[in-house]
Amino acid sequence: MISKTTIDKVFEQSLVEEVVGEFVQLKKSGSNFKGLSPFSNEKTPSFVVSPVKQIWKDFSSGKGGNAVAFLMEHEHFTYPEAIKYLARKYNIEIEETQVSPLDKEKASEKESLFIVSDYAKDFFSKTLLNSNDGKAIGLSYFKERGFSDETIKKYDLGYLPDKLNYFSSEAVKNGYDPVFLEKSGLSIFQNEKSIDRFRGRVIFPIHSMSGRTLGFGARILNNQLKTAKYLNSPESLIYNKSKILYGIFYAKQEIAKLDNCFIVEGYTDVIQLHQKGVMNVVSSSGTALTIDQITLIRRLTSNVTMLFDGDKAGVNATLRGIDIILTAGLNVSVCSFPNGEDPDSYSQDKSYEEIDDYLKNNSQDFIQYKASILASNSKNDPISKANTINDIINSISIIPDRIKQEIYIKHCSSIMDISEEVLFNSLAQKTKNEIHSISKKRIAKVQKTSKNKEVNLLFELEKKIIEILLLYGDKKEKFEELILKNDEDGNVVLEPTIVNSLVYEKIFLDLQQDEIEFTNESFKVIYEKIINEFQKNQKLILEIFLNNLNQELANHVTGILMNEDQYELHDWLSKDIVVKHKDRVISQLVSETILSLRTFLINKKVEELKEETKDSLENDKILEEIGEYHKLKTLLSKKLNRVL
């Protein structure tokens, strides 16, 4: 576990404009920076970075947060990966806490394996590009596949000559421990002699989602040898084939942006498509898809399109993968290539436009694909046909969306020439334990939103209170309070009194006094967290506060904080429109907002009481209560008049 001291140092030293600026082209705009959204395709800037507040906001997607949140959203790092990335960037030593000796040893071993793998990646690449064998054999092979110099360098493609220990001897000579060379699977040591595992092969480094070298895939070029065509690194602390997708490091941003992931079988399929401009593509590296691989994709998108060969092996691989993707809750489409073609061979002589058109026009929903394939294989065999139908129903039963299920049932009925009733009965048997009903909360929500104006006003007032707390909660201000007193004649009057108070205390006490609770659940949680932070520490450090919120709440907070900064995107100052700065009139803003909220709630209560008089036998009592609320409303109006 990374120590709190390290995390605090990361937040203190990292600058959001520097971190974001590495990935997004930013231009100065007043006190902020602006740029095009990295999360959507747009032509006008809607992305704002605030150096003062140390946050960013993307108004096109609603996302926002601090530097760590940006790395998690844009680079799809986990929280620890983002912290470590920033620690390396700002030369901060990473301290670990509560780590057992065994965990320390494991972490040290993992880091050693990463170091060895990085060395090997660079060694193989240099051998490919600079050695005579590399150029004549390895580079020639990649060129024949149609890979450009830029692509070869980008994917760190490499080569190792067909010599016993060309790599291993050099690695040991350069100080790399034989223990880790062997554990990584790069070398095999026997009787003090070393053997290169990947000798005589072209090499494809395999990266993690964050770009670290995990292991290697290697293809033999001599087809006459009786050995495996492809060879992968063995399992290690850093390499687990079932948890890795080849090319995900290069594809992750496009997958997230286009909201779709293409899955292919081989390394060259990925590289060829990427070179042609189809960059949201990854490979299962010749293995059957696993739930861990799908989980990686689910971090980026909920839509998958499988691109497999049109031969029998490709069809079988596709059928195996469909249900596991459905189990993870993702949407699946399939695009088959002509018989004898794979994504690599098909794309070599095609332009991006031709490939894109083919993928769009030939992708079909998985049910259509599965039903048509299985139906064609069992047309004249009743038993096979029954098994086929059961197989399709099993797939449909996995889908959580009932509307989709019904559509697919109808489609299968048409393809398989069997009644919908029978299919629905079969489906019902498989899903009999699932209860699908509209929740009471959703009904209440629909009823509530029918009063749009009322909901919008309350929403804005609650949002304004959150904004004030975030921006000015720790500021001490003079508030003019109007205290109710009796004059000499016994009449109730309002006497002005000046009170010094912290903004958060003023808001907390006023809302508590009137027993006012937030109606918006997100605002309610944020409010409680803000008040708790101020009561504990007397201050709120925005970067750390954001970091302790889930992504949905963090998006709310950054949206609130950057609301005014959105105006700068439209260059209002050049049009002689001056945006008023609220920090010049904080006490007035606080008082006005709370009083407006009180008035709104009183009006609402009066309306509820009026409704009660229609059916109640105690109208006099209710009318008296309404009268008291009107008196209170009059007093509040006077307060509002004093601060307006």
Same domain, 590 and 494: yes
Q: Rounded CA gap, 348 and 328, in Å?
A: 33
Q: Is residue 254 part of a domain?
A: no
pLDDT at 567 over 60: no
pLDDT: is 357 or 411 the higher one?
Answer: 357
pLDDT tens for each residue of 379-408: 567 777 787 788 888 888 887 777 778 887
Least confident of 119-133, 305-319, 441-455, 624-638: 441-455
Q: Looking at this protein, which amino acid is placed at residue 276?
A: K
Same domain, 128 and 29: no
Handedness of CA 253, 258, 260, 266 (dihedral sign): negative
Domain boundary among the residues 41, 58, 89 is at 89
Q: What mean pLDDT comes out for the span 580-594?
A: 67
pLDDT of residue 304: 94
Answer yes or no: are the C-beta atoms of 185 and 218 closer than 8 Å. Answer: no
Strands (E), 387-505: 476-486, 492-502
**pLDDT-based confidence at 440, cuts 50/70/90?**
very low
pLDDT: is 165 or 551 the higher one?
Answer: 165
pLDDT of residue 493: 62
Residue 109 is inside which H or E element, if any?
helix 101-130
Contacts 24+ apart (CB under 8 A), 413-416: 415/368, 415/371, 415/372, 415/375, 416/371, 416/375, 416/385, 416/388, 416/389, 416/392
Q: Is residue 352 part of a domain?
A: no
Q: Rounded CA gap, 564 and 451, in Å?
A: 27
pLDDT at 238 over 80: yes
Same domain, 35 and 155: no
- Phi-psi category of residue 216: left, alpha or beta, with phi > 0 → left and psi -120 to 50 → alpha: beta
pLDDT at 612 over 70: no
> Given the DSSP bridges, would you call strands 201-207 and 213-220 parallel, antiparallel or unpaired?
antiparallel
Same domain, 126 and 213: yes
**Highest-pLDDT range among 245-254, 269-278, 616-625:** 269-278
pLDDT tens for each residue of 198-232: 999 999 999 988 788 999 999 998 776 677 788 99
b/e burial code for range 365-383 (CB count within 10 A of at least 16 → b): bbbbbbbebbbeebeeeee
Q: What mean pLDDT comes out for the span 299-306?
A: 87
DSSP 2: B
Q: What rounded mean pLDDT belongs to the chain?
A: 80
pLDDT of residue 447: 44
What CATH number is given to the structural domain containing 228?
Answer: 3.90.980.10
pLDDT of residue 484: 59
Task: Please state the pTM of the whole predicted model.
Answer: 0.61
pLDDT at 162 over 70: yes
Burial class (CB in 10 A: 0-12, 13-18, 19+), 463: buried
pLDDT at 287 over 70: yes
Q: Is residue 312 part of a domain?
A: no
Same domain, 484 and 596: yes
Same domain, 75 and 215: no
Secondary structure of 343-406 as H, E, C letters: HHHHHCCCCHHHHHHHHHHHEEEHHHHHHHHHHHHCCCCHHHHHHHHHHHHHHHHHCCCHHHHH
Q: Looking at this protein, which amino acid is placed at residue 438?
A: I
pLDDT of residue 576: 38
Which residues lie closer than 8 Å to 300 by C-beta, 6 or more apart?
76, 252, 255, 256, 261
pLDDT at 263 over 90: yes
Which of 613, 443, 472, 626 minimizes the C-alpha distance to 534?
Answer: 472
Same domain, 423 and 549: no
Same domain, 391 and 413: yes
pLDDT at 608 over 70: no
Q: What mean pLDDT comes out for the span 28-42?
A: 83
Domain boundary among the residues 89, 122, 144 is at 89
Q: Is residue 287 part of a domain?
A: no
pLDDT of residue 642: 41
Q: In this structure, what token pair is assigned to residue 166?
A: 């060309």
Q: Rounded CA gap, 483 and 494, in Å?
A: 5
Q: Rounded CA gap, 625 and 614, in Å?
A: 15
The percentage of residues in the chain with a pLDDT greater than 90, rounded to a whole number, is 26
Q: Is residue 599 part of a domain?
A: yes
What CATH number is given to the structural domain containing 22?
Answer: 3.90.580.10
* Residues pairing with 485 in the sheet: 493
Same domain, 536 and 613: yes
Residues of the domain holding 190:
99-239
Domain count, the chain: 4
pLDDT of residue 280: 95
Q: Rounded CA gap, 518 and 496, in Å?
A: 28
Same domain, 112 and 171: yes
Same domain, 115 and 141: yes
pLDDT of residue 442: 36
Which residues lie closer than 8 Å to 377 by C-beta, 6 or more apart?
384, 388
Q: Rounded CA gap, 22 and 74, in Å?
A: 11
**pLDDT-based confidence at 434, cuts 50/70/90?**
very low
Answer yes or no: are the C-beta atoms of 58 and 39 closer than 8 Å. Answer: yes
Q: Rounded CA gap, 319 and 458, in Å?
A: 52
**pLDDT-based confidence at 264, cuts 50/70/90?**
very high
Which of 266, 308, 271 minimizes the C-alpha distance to 285?
Answer: 266
What are the backbone dihedrals phi and psi of residue 77, each rounded to the nearest 5 degrees, phi first?
Answer: -75, 155
> Given the DSSP bridges, would you call strands 303-308 and 331-336 parallel, antiparallel or unpaired?
parallel
Q: Is residue 244 part of a domain?
A: no
pLDDT of residue 380: 66
Q: What mean pLDDT comes out for the span 82-105?
A: 78
Q: In this structure, what token pair is assigned to residue 415?
A: 């393809």
Q: Is residue 264 part of a domain?
A: no
pLDDT: is 373 or 462 the higher one?
Answer: 462
Q: Is residue 598 part of a domain?
A: yes
Placement of tokens 């020639």 in the chain:
140
Same domain, 593 and 623: yes
Answer yes or no: are the C-beta atoms of 290 and 281 closer than 8 Å. Answer: no
Domain boundary among the residues 185, 213, 239 is at 239
pLDDT at 452 over 80: no
Q: What mean pLDDT comes out for the span 162-186?
A: 93
